[in-house]
Amino acid sequence: MLRHRRIYVLPTRRGLALIATIAIMLVASMNYALALGFALTFLIAGLVAAALLHTYRNLNGLAVSPLGAGEAFAGTELVFTLSLGNASSARQGIIVATGSERSVSVDLAAGTTQIVQLVADAPYRGRQLLGRVTLWTDFPMGLWRGWAYVHFPLSGIVYPAPEAPAPPLPPGRDGSDARKSAHAAEAELAGLRDYQRGDPLNRIAWKAVARGAGWYSKQFEGAGGRGALQLEWADMPPGLDTEARLSRLTAWVLATEREARAFALRVPGVELPMGHGAAHRRAALTALALYRAG
């Protein structure tokens, strides 16, 4: 949890224009000795000053905390999740932005907490840091812009982009791949689970969607050993460079999931034993995401 005391406030362009107008009105009031001109000018100045306080208050005491980071394939988008907690009265028009162009605008009622999802471009594989988050606001009058920076050690995993179209899976270790893979499509449906961002389209339980029951993904239980695969860095065609190899392996890992087959993965530095299931697949993808040559 973080309470930021370092809030900066500067006038916006409109605020500067208004301040300049106030200055001109002041000079006119001085020259013509207009007491009510002074009164009007200073009332507006008081309004501008009060707006500054309100802009500051809109950010002051806001509790920002990291909740988690998602996972993504390179070239898609990575989602970071933060929570904004507001213990005092309502706040409006708080904009949460990362380095990218995309930002989220949040209104917080008094005493509430809101979950904010920040979407960031994920161009490269590897561990992607959230980086500096800017919270800013020009509430209530757009005359002042208050902002504060927060840093969280929050990072998401970006997997290599799967090669598309990818060559078919390499033959299985026991050489009986063709026969078994024919059965793979008929792998038994083990059940449904909640749809998660990133689940492949062909795994979505469309019947359930059509019924209006919600979004679910089909879970297949691949029988261990049936059509088990050994995915080897070293088996790649020698002409491929590192990233292309990682892309192909990623595509293959995803293909094993589609076809419900167990696999083992060996890349330089990482060796995953034969296994299947979501955790295994994630471990494999993570290993590919974090692969470092040499």
Partner 1 sequence: MIFAAAPVTPLTRIQLAWLGALVLLAQLTVASHVLPWVAAAGAALVLIRFVLAPDRLPSPRLRRLLLPLLAAAVAVAIRIKFGYLLGRDPCVAFLYVLVGIKYLETRNARDGGLLICLALFLLLTQFFYAQTIAAALLMLPALLVLGGALAALREAPADSEWKAPLVMTARMIAQGIPIAALLFIFFPRLAGPLWGMPTDAGARTGLSERMQPGTIGSLSLSDEVAFRVDFESAPPPPSLRYWRGPVLARFDGEAWTPFALLRRGQLARPAARTIDYTVTLEPHGQRWLFALEHPASMPSRTALDPAQSGGTDLAFLTFDQQLLAKAPITQAVRYAQRSSLDESFPAIDNVERRENLQLPLDRNPRTSEFARELRASVDSDRAFIAAILSKFRNEAYVYTLTPSPLGEEPVDGFLFDTKRGFCEHYASAFVVLLRAAGIPARVVTGYQGGEINPDGEYLIVRQSDAHAWAEVLLDGAWQRFDPTAAVAPSRIEHGIGAALPLTEPVPYLARLDMTWLKNLRLHWDAINYQWQRGVVGFNIDRQRNLLRDLGLGNARPWQIVALAAGVIVVWGAIVLGLARRRALRADPAAALWSLACRRLAHAGLRRSPEEGPLAYAQRAARRWPQWGALFARIGESYALLRYGPDSAQRGELIASLRASVASLPAARRLRTSS
Q: For strand 63-69 and strand 76-85, is the pairing parallel, antiparallel, or unpaired?
A: antiparallel
Q: Which is nearer to partner 1, 49 or 278 (CB)?
A: 49
* Cβ 245 to partner 1 shortest distance, Å: 36
Instruction: Report strand pairing: 229-232 vs 263-267.
Output: parallel
CB of 131 to partner 1, least distance (A): 12
**Residue number, 147 or 159, with CB nearest to partner 1:** 147
261 is a site residue for partner 1 (CB under 8 A): no
Dmax over Cα atoms in the chain, in whole Å? 100
Mark out the alpha helices in 168-277 (DSSP H runs): 177-184, 206-211, 242-259
d(CA 185, CA 162): 21
Does the protein bind partner 1 through residue 99 (CB under 8 A)?
Answer: yes
Among 5, 6, 36, 201, binds partner 1 (CB under 8 A): 36
Binding of partner 1 by 38 (CB under 8 A): yes
**How far apart, in Å, are the Cα atoms of 33 and each of 26, 37, 258?**
10, 8, 83
**Which one, of 168, 177, 181, 166, lies nearest residue 251 by Cα?**
166
Nearer to partner 1, 15 or 160 (CB): 15
What is the Cα 133 distance to its own chain's centre? Answer: 12
Q: Which stretch binds partner 1 (CB under 8 A): 110-118, 166-174, 176-184, 192-200?
A: 110-118
Angle (deg, nearest 10), helices 278-289 and 242-259? 170
Rounded CA separation 274/229 (Å): 8
Work out which of 25, 116, 169, 249 binds partner 1, going by CB under 8 A: 25
Candidates 76, 131, 134, 242; binder of partner 1 (CB under 8 A) is 134
| Residue 57 in the binding site for partner 1 (CB under 8 A) | yes
212 touching partner 1, by CB under 8 A: no
Does residue 104 touch partner 1 according to CB under 8 A?
A: no
**Shortest distance in whole angstroms from residue 140 CB to partner 1:** 6
Task: Look up residue 92 and give its two tokens.
Answer: 């409006």
Stretch binding partner 1 (CB under 8 A), from 85-93, 174-182, 223-231, 250-258: 85-93
Tell me the backbone φ, ψ of residue 141, rounded to 5 degrees.
-125, 0
* Residue 166 three-state SS: coil
Instruction: Decide: is 45 part of the binding site for partner 1 (CB under 8 A).
Output: yes
Instruction: Report how far residue 145's alpha carbon sits from residue 136's, in angstroms, rounded to the nearest whole number.
Output: 7
Interacting residue with partner 1 among 74, 78, 145, 289 (CB under 8 A): 145
Select from 253, 259, 261 the least CA-distant residue to 289: 253
Which positions lie near partner 1, rule CB under 8 A? 1, 13-14, 17-18, 20-21, 24-51, 53-54, 56-57, 60, 63, 65, 67, 83, 85, 87-89, 93, 97, 99, 101, 110-111, 113, 134, 136, 138-143, 145, 147
